[in-house]
Amino acid sequence: MTPFRKVFFILTDVICIAFSLVAAIWLKFDKLQPQHVQYLLFIIPLLTPVGLVCFWFMGLYNRTLRFTSLPDMVAVFTAVTTYSMLKMGSFFFTQSFANFSAVFVIDWMISLLLIGSSRIAPRVALGFLEASPLRGWLFQKNLQKSKRVLIVGAGQAGESILREIKRNVNLPINVVGLIDDNPKKDCQIIHGVQVLGNSEKIARVVKELSVDEIIIAIPSASGHELRRIIKLCQDTKVRFKTLPGMQDIIAGKLVSLQLRDIAIEDLLRRPPAAINLAEIAAYVTGKTVMVTGAGGSIGSEICRQILPFQPAKLLLLGHGENSIFKSNQQLLGNENLGNIALIPIIADIQDREKIAALFNTYRPDIVFHAAAHKHVPLMELNPEEAVKNNVLGTRNLVDASHNAKVERFVMISTDKAVNPTSIMGASKRVAEKILKCYARRSQTRFVAVRFGNVLGSRGSVIPLFKEQIEKGGPITITHPKMIRYFMTIPEASKLVVQAGSYGKGGEVFILDMGEPVRIVDLAEDLIKLSGLEVGKDIEIKFTGIRPGEKLYEELLTASEGIAATRNRKIFIAKPEEVDEAALMAQVERLEAAARSGKIRAIIRGFQEIVPSFAPNRDMIHNDKSVRDSRAQVSQQPQLRVI
């Protein structure tokens, strides 16, 4: 409130205080007698300054009148009531109190009405003017040149967007209507704008009202529902935007009018992952936490999810210096960093001596193991590297954790470890078995968390599709029936951290991946969201299934069952019996094959450990076919579906 307005409302309050007392005496005694006039001449100059001081300290002169709301009215009630009690208290022990006690009550009611009205009247008047036909002239807002907007969603999010637009009189936006599928809201008026019907009427409303843009304000909508609404909006040929989903809102990322274009992640909306903050804090707070692969998509997100729980130290371990540097810089700017000591470490998990030395130096309490080679086609061409990194690297970390008496060790696994047809999947299944062996005899709680594909990871389908669209196509997909499970990186990382609190040792946790998605549908949606047409602007080309790929992925083997946990999105696979002595001997033979670079020996080693492994036939026959195929595959468009 400006100084001029403060002075204006102080004078207004003086008049209200004086008038209220005069009116109260008149109403009580039906007339003003000479003694009443004398009383008023004495009491008004004496107590009015007391009332103004009371109002000042209650903040009545520091509030924005345009946005007057319930808390402001509560402040008025508190201030007027306090002042009235002071007046009553000053006369409580006088002889005239009995005659004037009713006057004070009437005075309180009239003061409350007048002073409250003086605060809310400007907003009421402003709202009336904004809703009037003269709005554009009164607020210098040229509605003819303003963007005509239709808001889909008349819930809390839609109302917030509409309110923000109404408040900003200089914003070149004119909301011409609302759409909502709730029949109870049909024809209702919100901030002067009418609900014009359900989503099936979008096309008609856009045409009749000459809508320029559509805002989809339904953050709680499921992926299926949002896809339906987007299809209706696409048919209008009008640009449309949306709000972030519920996961972003819960994470505190939603601010006023934070609109953006539809992203492919929006079409896969899932209910927000519920995590138990107390359970995570109980095992993370104050501890030394190591994250391997901390420069990768999942590893870096796990680091971000851990920060709010304030570990004492966070060790960022990775092989690539650029990715670790970037991850470290991002975490340094995180508002949740607090007093956490960030320690970036450049190391290769294949270096057994270096890993052991690091564990002896830093003595981590918790390890999240996200470092791995994950690219299926590349591991088919370089199987020895999958063995060295995914199997032997994991063994090094597990052994170091066991020797250092780490409290918990959580490894990121994959659905490709189930009935694997790829070297990558087989290597992760062997890593799971190694964890189970150590879990039976170690003080460390070793667990694995198995899930499917994550959107937005480096080299995943979405960035590749976008790049192909920017180049004019075609989008390359291996098979029209290819389906995959998808999660967002934040959701997967949250559930991994939560699963760590459940581990007793030896479990394989399975994350609920929701419904599978056809890769073709994903590509078509992305083309449409880019404002293009499938087949006309961008072609989709099928290149054939590559070695190691499956049409669909599985989360459980035939022998595994699942048990529920306290989190409805996390399950436990049935324990698998593993002979440690036999496994370690098999791993040693696998290691020898990898060191010698003998592909057939590597395949036999994997089949010995994982009988369900069904490798590429060319790899079984001879080593030369694999080596020769590298040149051929390197010329083909690469699509990573992980």
Task: Measure the CA–CA gap between 484 and 453, rounded to whole angstroms.
Answer: 7
* Percent of all residues in the chain with a pLDDT value above 90, rounded to a whole number: 24
| 84, 182: one domain | no
| 410, 342: one domain | yes
SS3 sequence of 388-439: HHHHHHHHHHHHHHHHCCCCEEEEEEEHHHCCCCCHHHHHHHHHHHHHHHHH
| 261, 283: one domain | no
The helix/strand/coil state of 37 is helix
Q: Which of 108, 131, 154 marks a domain boundary?
A: 131
Task: Measure the CA–CA gap between 292 and 299, rounded to whole angstroms.
Answer: 7
The predicted pLDDT at position 253 comes to 44
| 152, 112: one domain | no
| DSSP H helical ranges for 504-579 | 519-529
| 328, 441: one domain | yes
Residue 454 — left, alpha, or beta (φ > 0 → left; ψ -120 to 50 → alpha)? beta
The answer to whether position 468 is within a domain reads no
pLDDT band at 347; cut points 50, 70, 90: very high
pLDDT band at 54; cut points 50, 70, 90: confident
- The H or E element containing residue 393 is helix 393-403
pLDDT above 90 for 272: no
The answer to whether position 540 is within a domain reads no
Structure tokens at 432: 């799971």
- Active site positions, annotated: 416
Q: Is there a contact between 445 and 503 (Cβ–Cβ < 8 Å)?
A: yes
Q: Provide the residue range defining the domain that includes 360.
A: 277-454+488-514+555-634
pLDDT above 50 for 441: yes
Whose structure tokens read 């002239």?
137
- In terms of pLDDT, which residue wins out, 620 or 175? 175
pLDDT above 70 for 225: yes
The predicted pLDDT at position 444 comes to 94
The answer to whether position 445 is within a domain reads yes
The predicted pLDDT at position 260 comes to 55
Of 113, 107, 126, 21, residue with least CA distance to 76: 113
pLDDT in tens, 366-421: 999 999 998 888 898 899 999 999 999 999 999 999 999 999 999 999 888 888 88
The predicted pLDDT at position 246 comes to 44
The predicted pLDDT at position 346 comes to 96
The answer to whether position 532 is within a domain reads no
The answer to whether position 198 is within a domain reads yes
Cis peptide before 474 (omega within 30 of 0): yes
CA dist 16 to 13, 44, 88, 391, Å? 5, 11, 18, 81
pLDDT in tens, 452-491: 777 655 556 777 787 888 888 788 888 888 777 677 787 7
pLDDT in tens, 512-552: 766 677 888 778 877 777 667 787 778 888 887 776 666 66
Cα dihedral 221→222→225→226 (10° resolution): 70
Q: Is there a contact between 387 and 590 (Cβ–Cβ < 8 Å)?
A: yes
Q: Which of 107, 131, 155 marks a domain boundary?
A: 131
| 30, 155: one domain | no
CA dist 623 to 82, 133, 134, 597, Å? 90, 80, 82, 9
| 96, 182: one domain | no
The predicted pLDDT at position 586 comes to 94
Distance of CA 622 to the CA centre of its chain: 48
Amino acid at 434: I
Task: Measure the CA–CA gap between 414 and 373, rounded to whole angstroms.
Answer: 12
| 151, 244: one domain | yes
User: Which domain CATH number covers 293?
Assistant: 3.40.50.720
* Percent of all residues in the chain with a pLDDT value above 70, rounded to a whole number: 76
Task: Measure the CA–CA gap between 124 and 122, rounded to whole angstroms.
Answer: 5
The predicted pLDDT at position 397 comes to 96
| 105, 247: one domain | no
pLDDT in tens, 123-174: 677 666 555 555 544 444 555 567 888 988 888 888 888 877 777 766 778 8
What's the mean pLDDT in 95-104? 65
The answer to whether position 441 is within a domain reads yes
What's the mean pLDDT in 559-572? 66
| 383, 501: one domain | yes
| Winning range, highest mean pLDDT, from 46-50, 269-273, 495-499 | 495-499
The predicted pLDDT at position 562 comes to 63
Q: What is the pTM of this model?
A: 0.63
Q: Is there a contact between 282 and 501 (Cβ–Cβ < 8 Å)?
A: yes
pLDDT in tens, 316-338: 999 999 999 999 999 998 888 88
What's the mean pLDDT in 596-605? 90
The answer to whether position 601 is within a domain reads yes
| 296, 435: one domain | yes
**Count of domains for the chain:** 3
Structure tokens at 184: 């109870």
Amino acid at 467: E
Angle formed by the axes of helices 70-90 and 34-57, to 10°? 130
Mean pLDDT lowest among 257-266, 394-403, 434-443: 257-266
The predicted pLDDT at position 26 comes to 81
The predicted pLDDT at position 251 comes to 43
Strands 408-414 and 366-369: parallel
Q: Which of 219, 241, 268 marks a domain boundary?
A: 268
- In terms of pLDDT, which residue wins out, 634 or 69? 69
The predicted pLDDT at position 289 comes to 95
Q: Per DSSP, what are the bridge partners of residue 189?
A: 194
pLDDT band at 493; cut points 50, 70, 90: confident
The predicted pLDDT at position 322 comes to 94
pLDDT above 60 for 247: no
| 9, 124: one domain | yes
The answer to whether position 435 is within a domain reads yes
Q: Is there a contact between 249 and 222 (Cβ–Cβ < 8 Å)?
A: no
